[in-house]
Amino acid sequence: MARMVDIGRKPDVARRAIASGAIRLKPSTVQAIRAGRVEKGDPLATAEVAGLQAIKCVWQVLPHCHPIPITAAGVTFDVRKDRIVATSHVEATYKTGVEMEALYGVTVALLTVWDMVKSMEKDARGQYPTARLVDVHVLSKEKGAAGRARG
């Protein structure tokens, strides 16, 4: 039987999580992103917004996650020769952690990049031999005084 964990008696605690992941792309696709030559627009600006939206709605798509009052969040990108690395940070003062929010934000941001550049990544058969999401993971999680928002 599936059910949410009862967190009603847990105290609110400052929490922070940072997650990262990457999308591997053809170097020519990365060059097009850098040069602003993507037909659908700016993949990184769009992916930043998509990642932030995703962070706020994890409870709507993952059945065991609670709605969390996010106090701070962000998604950043590092553009490399053959990949885009996304990093998200999420903060909240609540009864449960924010790791899933950070992971989901990174994943949705990377999927948004893929969606925006998929026409450049397809081969002659319509397949994606290079594009792939890799290394999505939690870089760190903090709870208590260490998890308080940075000034």
Tokens 């967190």 appear where? 7
Distances (CA, A) of 91 to 23, 47, 61: 24, 19, 19
**In this structure, are residues 59 and 67 in contact, taking their beta carbons and an 8 Å threshold?**
yes
Q: Can you tell me whether residue 101 is helix, strand or coil?
A: helix
- Measured distance CA(124)–CA(135) in Å, rounded: 27
Measured CA angle at 71 (ends 66, 73), to 5 deg: 95
Catalytic residue among 12, 42, 78, 115: 115
Helix (H) or strand (E) holding 33: helix 27-35
**Active site annotation includes 135:** no
- Helix H, strand E, coil C: the string for 97-127 is CCHHHHHHHHHHHHHHHHHHHHHHHCCCCCC
Q: Which residues are catalytic?
A: 115
